[in-house]
Amino acid sequence: MPVQTRQIGLSLGADLCWPACYEEIVQRLQLSLPSGPNTVEFAVERVRPEPFDLRAKPKYDLVIDRVTHWFYTTREWVKKIAIMDDVYVLNNPWMIQAAEKHTTYCAMMRLGFPIPETWLLPPKEYPTDADFPVTTRRYNKLFDLNKVAEQVGYPMFMKPYDGGAWRGVSRVDDAAALHKGYDASGQQIMHLQNAVDPFDLFVRGIGIGPQVNVIKYDPVAPLHGRYVVDFDFVNDKELATLQRFTRVINAFFCWDYNSCESLRKNGVFHPIDFANACPDSQVTSLHYHFPWMVKALVKWSLFCAYTKRKPKLNPNWAPYFAIADKDLSFDEKLLEYDALARDYFDADRFEEFCGTHLAHLDEVAFDFFGTPRAKAIFHEKVAALYPKHEVEAFTEHFYGLVQFWRKTESDRKPTLARGAASGPSAGATS
């Protein structure tokens, strides 16, 4: 049978561990899949930006992108290959540019999500060139910051409207902290958002295609301890709700890879941050949860490359808004939103593909993450981040947590490792 090779490009920045693990697992899968009269195989290559002809045809069928937020040459190349060449990109870069945190809050409020009270503030300072002084003098309305804060409600958080790596985020408990934070914000446009306080649970839903892993999160812990290893911390109904939150948000904005933060107060989960289209993906942050992320990325990217999934060049929000306008409870609307999201991600076809062609992925990944090669990859990542005297200890720490993941996997599926001792099951993973 004639062989067709699907080319997958990895567009990377400082990433070390997940790309190496991804490459190893795809290679170990040894896929040769039927497609009509042809056989499909897969090749993975790292993208290296260079001057490019806008009419040049790229070699890739799919690109996994992790750098275009900050590396604009690659960003413009990614836009070009999606617009002109039908290359599928995880994530679509102009949807990330267009849908900063402010837009995502507005959209999800429109759909009825329980977003906390949020106000946008004009910047404290303006540039002094061009027409800014004239415009601000003529049209900017003076306002009372204290009265705005009263409308939002203490405690609250002040944060940039476009977000980005927790920059400029401060908790505001009183008027003194309010004015201090606003004075320090300079020319940034800021949100004031009512704090979900007190909350009894903080979670992150990591979404890759239709797959969502709900993880307990501790924002005040050191980076390596924020993604908590815990089991059964939500019930089945809560788990389904949180998975739908993430899947709907991602489908709505044409994102393939994103995370959604939610806080639980009085039994209700409130999404507070969900424009994270370059989410944590390193073993040094995800540790126990890292293998799930790599496997999910392998599955979704192979499916998209195999089926030649076409990029969505614009979102289709009208069906969501039509549901939002129905006389239904939010839970009923969320079910209908999720049906649209699953359809967007072709979830049934994806699940069939995984069952038919990737049934051995669990075993391949289980074996790989116990190898010296996996440990060497972790060591390289740790060495890039940690002081020399901590490298060995933290390598053992992260590798040990991944071995605990292997133990829980063998407990759930004894065929992965015969004779494994019984243990807990990761109930918050789907």
At 241-294, the pLDDT tens digits run 999 999 999 999 999 999 999 999 999 999 999 988 788 999 999 999 999 999
Q: How many residues does the chain have?
A: 430
Chain segment 135-159, per-residue pLDDT in tens: 888 888 889 999 999 999 999 999 9
**Of 150, 153, 155, 157, residue with least CA distance to 181:** 157
pLDDT value for 133: 85
What distance in Å separates the CA atoms of residue 61 and residue 108, rounded to the nearest whole number?
32
Output 74-77 pairs: Cβ under 8 A, ≥24 positions apart.
74/11, 74/47, 74/49, 77/49, 77/52
Q: Sign (positive/negative) of CA torsion 168, 280, 304, 351?
A: negative
pLDDT less than 70: residues of the chain: 164-166, 417-430
pLDDT value for 129: 83
Sequence-ordered alpha helix ranges (H) in 195-346: 236-252, 283-286, 290-306, 318-324, 330-344
pLDDT value for 394: 98
What domains are defined for the chain? 3-98 (3.40.50), 117-194 (3.30.1490.20), 201-345 (3.30.470.20)
pLDDT value for 215: 98
pLDDT value for 168: 73
pLDDT value for 426: 37
What distance in Å separates the CA atoms of residue 8 and residue 401, rounded to the nearest whole number?
29
**Of 306, 302, 217, residue with least CA distance to 259:** 217
pLDDT value for 165: 61
Q: 3-state secondary structure string, 92-131?
A: CHHHHHHCCHHHHHHHHHHCCCCCCCEEEECCCCCCCCCC
Do the beta carbons of residue 408 and residue 423 sit within 8 Å?
Answer: yes
What distance in Å separates the CA atoms of residue 317 and residue 230, rounded to the nearest whole number?
36
Summary mean pLDDT of the chain: 92
Q: What angle do CA 65, 69, 72 make, to 5 degrees?
A: 95
* Rg of the chain, C-alpha, whole Å: 23
pLDDT value for 164: 65
| Predicted TM-score of the model (pTM) | 0.93
pLDDT value for 430: 43
What distance in Å separates the CA atoms of residue 88 and residue 85, rounded to the nearest whole number?
9
pLDDT value for 339: 98
Task: Please give the C-alpha separations between residue 155 and each of 105, 117, 175, 321, in angstroms, as whole numbers.
Answer: 19, 11, 10, 32
Do the beta carbons of residue 416 and residue 366 sit within 8 Å?
Answer: yes
